[in-house]
Amino acid sequence: MIRHLGVSNATADQVAEARSIAPIVCVQNMYNLAYRHDDPMIDELAEAGIAYVPFFPLGGFTPLQSDALSAVATRLAATPMSVALAWLLHRSANILLIPGTASSAHLRENAAGAGITLTEDDLAALDKIGR
Ligand SMILES: NC(=O)c1ccc[n+]([C@@H]2O[C@H](COP(=O)([O-])OP(=O)(O)OC[C@H]3O[C@@H](n4cnc5c(N)ncnc54)[C@H](OP(=O)(O)O)[C@@H]3O)[C@@H](O)[C@H]2O)c1
């Protein structure tokens, strides 16, 4: 009856336990430019061909704010939120995005993030935010 299984709010040990029981196609945990607890897990899941869906990709209840993020956004003539989403898409090929919004203007802005190409310098500057 169930075609694909995903887990959420799961530690690396819990993901390993779940994978020992049944194939897992997706993990959904909190992750964004400033909150990078799952960095190692994302790389392991990418190796295994498992999707990672960051919740609170824009910071959730406390939207991301950073001078470094704003500086990159200004350089690219983009908005900070679209750059934050672009960074996630550059972070790993197994990342799928679900930014939430009740605003059509924000929806357009967020969708534009998929079209932003970040340079090595941009990535280096953004990488420092959560490290
Ligand atoms: N598995 C779990 O435990 C779990 C936990 C939390 C969330 N989730 C899921 O994860 C997804 C994302 O979570 P989320 O929506 O709470 O967090 P989010 O995407 O990080 O942030 C959403 C917040 O950012 C604002 N926002 C969105 N786009 C913006 C923009 N371009 N500029 C400025 N502000 C912007 C939204 O306000 P506006 O409406 O004003 O745009 C909203 O307050 C949702 O599908 C949610 O259901 C799952």
Neighbour order of strands in the sheet with 51-55: 6-8, 26-30, 51-55
Report yes or no on 62 lying in a domain: yes
Report yes or no on 56 lying in a domain: yes
Output the ligand 1 site: residues, CB below 6 A: 8-9, 28, 55-60, 63, 81, 98-103, 106, 109-110
Q: Give pLDDT tens digits for 17-33.
A: 999 999 999 999 999 99
**CATH number of the domain where residue 24 is located:** 3.20.20.100
Report yes or no on 102 lying in a domain: yes
| Domain range enclosing 51 | 6-130
Ligand 1 closest atom vs CA 99:
19
Dist CA 12 CA 10 (whole Å): 7
Q: Give pLDDT tens digits for 11-69.
A: 999 999 999 999 999 999 999 999 999 999 999 999 999 999 999 999 999 899 999 99
Comparing 131 with 87, the larger pLDDT belongs to 87
Report yes or no on 1 lying in a domain: no
Specify whether the CB–CB gap between 68 and 128 falls below 8 A: yes
Specify whether the CB–CB gap between 130 and 35 falls below 8 A: yes
Domain count, the chain: 1
Determine the distance separating the centroid of ligand 1 and the alpha carbon of 88, expressed in angstroms. 14
Q: Which residues pair with 51 in a beta bridge?
A: 26
Q: Give pLDDT tens digits for 80-101.
A: 999 999 999 999 999 999 999 9
